[in-house]
Amino acid sequence: MAGPVFALSKSQATRLVDSLVGEINKVIASGKSEGAMIRDFEKIFVRYADVPTIARSALGPNARQASKAELSAFTKSFQGYIARKYGKRFREFIGGEIKVKKTISRGKFFEVVSSVDLRGSSPFDVAFRVSDRSGRDLFFDIIIEGISLLSSERVEIGALLDRRGGNIARLTKDLKSLG
């Protein structure tokens, strides 16, 4: 039996990241408080990211042992954690700009490379990995100067889970105050 046919194109991947970058730039330029910006970033993350895939990946092998309810609660808590953790960093982008440069096919996904130009520093690249494997066009990883969000979070979440004796419910609860 053949699997589902995915029809994500290079132009669709580019449009998704163009829209994502446009929304991020708008929030950065909004002048809102950090708390309001973080709430906006969480909405953007949920709209454009394959949050369940990213959360499962961050949880690693433990995701296979989690119940459906545990995984759902972890995913919700994880999305808030990511929004707080990375949303705080976006304040550094005020006065800067993110621009899409090119889109590259990587076989099962597209990598949309953007340039980030911040005041007082050299531009650097951020690549968004986009797929439609979840049934929607969404990004599932961000590579910032060669460092994968997925890989970094897998290490971080793994360490946090180890400190909680492998207890996913405790990690889920604690993630609500971390980031």
**Distance set, CA 87 to CA 34, 70, 174 (Å):** 8, 25, 18
Question: Within a 13 Å sphere around the CA of 19, how many CA atoms are in the beta-carbon half?
Answer: 15
Give start and end residues of each alpha helix (H) in 60-148.
62-65, 68-87
Domain locations in the chain? 10-173
In CATH, what number does 10-173 get? Answer: 3.10.450.710
**Distance set, CA 5 to CA 8, 52, 132 (Å):** 9, 21, 10
Q: Please, what is the average pLDDT of the chain? A: 91
pLDDT at site 6? 52
Does pTM surpass 0.85? yes
How high is the mean pLDDT in each 10-residue block of the chain (179 residues)?
Answer: 62 95 89 92 96 96 95 97 87 80 95 91 93 95 93 96 96 91
Q: Which long-range contacts (CB under 8 A, 24 or more apart) does 123-129 make?
A: 125/101, 126/98, 128/17, 128/20
- The answer to whether 92 and 82 have CB atoms below 8 angstroms apart is no
- The answer to whether 59 and 27 have CB atoms below 8 angstroms apart is no
pLDDT tens-digit map of 37-69: 999 999 999 999 999 999 999 999 999 999 999
